[in-house]
């Protein structure tokens, strides 16, 4: 599924458009611990989080995620947007909490992958 379709279907706010919204979303991941995302998210995942710190951009760039969605009406810090522009990372925003937003993504047909938990987080 194209990122632009997800944005349109769920009314997501675009805070940083990264390389444009035409990239392909292949899965989803929800976590607020960056170490957990580093260990367990996969390239192409759309990442739902409450974290707004600039480190989320570094994590998304490193893992080649499709984008970050800030949930629960959270807005990115200025430094986060600056880094997102620099690293071409997409930052989106939703007023929905993570649970509801993940449910709607699932309804759109997006799936996570069953993963072997990589440790205790």
Q: Which residue stretch of 13-21, 59-67, 92-100, 107-115 sits at the interface with other proteins (rule: CB under 8 A)?
A: 59-67
Cα gap 22→24, rounded to integer Å:
7
CB of residue 88 vs other proteins: minimum separation in angstroms? Answer: 12
Which token pair is 41?
A: 């998210």
Looking at 39, 72, 85, 108, which residue binds other proteins (CB under 8 A)? 39
Which token pair is 1?
A: 């599924």
Looking at 52, 66, 92, 102, which residue binds other proteins (CB under 8 A)? 52
Quote the Cα angle for 118-56-28, to 5°.
55
Which token pair is 84?
A: 């997102």
Residues 60-119 interacting with other proteins (rule: CB under 8 A): 61-62, 87
Consecutive H or E run containing 75 = none
Looking at 9, 11, 33, 75, which residue binds other proteins (CB under 8 A)? 33
121 in contact with other proteins (CB under 8 A)? yes
Q: Give the total of residues touching other proteins (CB under 8 A).
A: 16
Quote the Cα angle for 74-65-85, to 5°.
65
51 in contact with other proteins (CB under 8 A)? yes
Q: Are 56 and 80 in contact (CB under 8 A)?
A: yes
> What residue ranges bind other proteins (CB under 8 A)?
33-35, 38-39, 51-53, 55, 58-59, 61-62, 87, 120-121
């Amino acid at each position: 599924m194209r990122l632009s379709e997800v944005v349109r279907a769920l009314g997501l706010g675009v805070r940083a458009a990264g390389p444009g919204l035409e990239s392909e979303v292949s899965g989803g991941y929800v976590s607020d611990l960056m170490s957990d995302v580093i260990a367990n998210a996969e390239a192409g995942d759309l990442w739902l989080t409450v974290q707004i710190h600039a480190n989320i951009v570094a994590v998304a760039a490193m893992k080649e995620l499709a984008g970050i969605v800030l949930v629960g009406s959270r807005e990115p810090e200025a430094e986060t947007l600056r880094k997102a522009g620099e690293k071409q990372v997409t930052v989106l925003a939703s007023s929905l909490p993570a649970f509801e937003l993940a449910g709607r993504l699932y309804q759109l047909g997006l799936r996570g992958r069953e993963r072997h938990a990589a440790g205790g987080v």
